Structure 1
Amino acid sequence: MSINSHEQKKVSPSSSGEEDTFTIKVLICDDEPLARERLKTMLDKTGGIETVEDTAANGTQALELIEKNQPDIVLLDIQMPGMDGLTCAQKIADMETPPAVIFCTAYNQHALDAFKAQAVGYLLKPIRQSELAKSLKQAQRLTQSQITALNARNHSNEEHVVARTRQGVELIPASDITLFQADQKYVTVSYPKGEVLIDEPLKSLQERLGDSFVRIHRNALVARKAIESMSQSDDGFYVLNIKGLNEPVTVSRRHVSSVRRVIQGTSR
């Protein structure tokens, strides 16, 4: 989804000679009046934003207001009476010149479906001013090449995990992940950008991701392609060296044989 640049209103350059800027038109859709008012207040504090005067309480109203006002960005709740946000986003994606969609919701379990609906952002309530401003900026800067890549990813069969990071809720391709390590109720995900926490259990991850990940401990899964070598420490414990990680990871005795077979290129 891209910003409808032909609908943007140009603001006159300042006397200091700064470059022209654009006002971005934003439509709010949420079934809670207080939530709509809070978003409007936050938008009013964000420079370069024009909020559509009418707001929507469900997906049907949002589609009508998009047709009428041609906004550049829609802030869209997910769980609403009548047409929900995901259904609305799918209909928006089929438009000839669709506005960008940023989901604003209290539920993180819909993130995968949201990105499949080509949303460019996914914010969890209570939404912070800084998070909203960042998502709006990202939506404005989305290039056509990024849109193509996003669409290709969303229509592929590759698995992803959903994580909440400082940038909001993100989808991390399973192919980028080297290690899942459980600690109480959360799982730490190691990937090239660092580490993030998710709340999907290891058992579910292993079932969903299949043979691309190997169980090396009751609390750890490792990507097959990330395994470099296994060695035995002086105290008799086995450890695994993993690509991209500075510290080796312990292999439980019950999994040593299966990990060794993986390293040797064989399987059970």
Structure 2
Amino acid sequence: MSPLKVLIVDDEPLARARLARQLQDLDECELLGEAGEAESALEQVQRLDPDLVLLDIEMPGRSGLELAETLSGMAAPPAIIFCTAHDEFALPAFATAAVGYLLKPVAGEQLAAAIRRARSLSKPQLKAASTTDTPADTVGRRQIKAVSRRGVELLPVASVRCFVADSKYVVAHHAGGETILDESLKELESEFGDRFVRVHRNALVAVAFISGLQRDGANYRVLLDGVEERPQVSRRLLSGVKSLIEEMA
């Protein structure tokens, strides 16, 4: 697997140095460069074509949010993980191509988890997730906000393979791992029903990632590209799921 090419953008030299040290511990990452303000960062993005930008928000001149909006408009935008000391910017970050929102001081394990999520997205997926104008046949948010002990996470809907209800929570399974959401399956189905199909009372699966059906004793499970999770298909919905897969073949 080729290393993820990373650019660090932060006006504080100590913050850049901390992130650079943490990246050295991650074999799957290659540090391309550093920038202390937005204009220099934009020039380096255009010249070096990084896969990922670790971006501060409050900087002299153009803010990180303004830079992120510019990057989101590129033909093949890099993934963006915000690294900031301020949690009040989480909602504005929804309008950008951000795949992570980490609070300083950034812990190494939190950075590693956010980078795993970023790696799960291709640049075309990031472009689709960050497009300003929502296509007419697409309903709902481009990203879902999840708040956990690790901070605020912005999960691109385009990366989700399935939503599975577990007790009082819903778990989103994606190529970067699992994310717990404080939303009901019914709410998610109502919002994203154009891209996800219900296969069980406790599961929605992304139509684009369905790769087949697998027999499991008397039951069937849906196979999904990029994750090990195999949601069970209820008997009531089985014929509809089979028909959908036949249409996709």
TM-score normalised by L of structure 1 = 0.52
Q: How far apart, CA to CA, are the structure 1 residues paired with 2:144 and 2:109? A: 24
1:82 to 36, 41, 61: 61
How well do the aligned residues superpose, as a CA RMSD in angstroms?
3.5
Equivalence for 2:84 = 105
The alpha-carbon deviation at position 36 of structure 1 amounts to 0.3
In structure 2, the partner of 1:56 is 35
Cα separation, 2, equivalents of 1:152 and 1:70: 19
CA contact (8 A) 2:3 2:30 kept: yes
State whether structure 2 residue 71 is matched by structure 1 residue 92: yes
TM-score scaled by length of structure 2: 0.56
Q: Describe how 1:112-151 pairs up with structure 2 within 5 A.
A: 112-143=91-122, 147=126, 150-151=129-130
Identity %: 41
- How many residue pairs end up in the alignment? 166
SS of 1:47's equivalent in the other structure is coil
Q: Is the 8 A contact 1:27 1:52 kept in 2?
A: yes
Cα shift at 1:132: 0.6
Distance 2:127 2:29 in 1: 26
The alignment status of 1:192 with 2:170, answered yes or no, reads yes
Say whether the 8 Å CA contact 1:112–1:171 is kept in structure 2: no
Distance 1:133 1:161, change over 3 A: closer
- C-alpha separation in 1, matches of 2:24 and 2:70: 28
Task: Write the distance in 1 (CA, Å) between the matches of 2:66 and 2:120.
Answer: 25
* Counterparts of 1:42 and 1:192, CA distance in 2: 31
| Corresponding position of 1:165 | 148
Gaps of 5+ in 1: 1-20, 177-189, 197-222, 227-243, 245-268
* Bigger Rg, which one: 1
Q: Secondary structure at the match of 1:81?
A: coil
Misfit runs of 4+, over 2 Å: 143-158, 160-164, 190-196
Aligned partners of 2:98 and 2:154 also within 8 Å: no
Could you tell me whether the CA contact under 8 Å between 1:102 and 1:120 is conserved in 2? Answer: yes
Kindly provide the amino acid, as one letter, of the partner of residue 69 in structure 1. Answer: L
User: Which structure 2 residue ranges, 5 or more long, are not aligned?
Assistant: 156-162, 172-179, 188-201, 203-249
User: For the residues of structure 1 that align with 2:27 and 2:10, how far apart are their CA atoms?
Assistant: 22
CA distance in 1, matches of 2:93, 2:100: 9
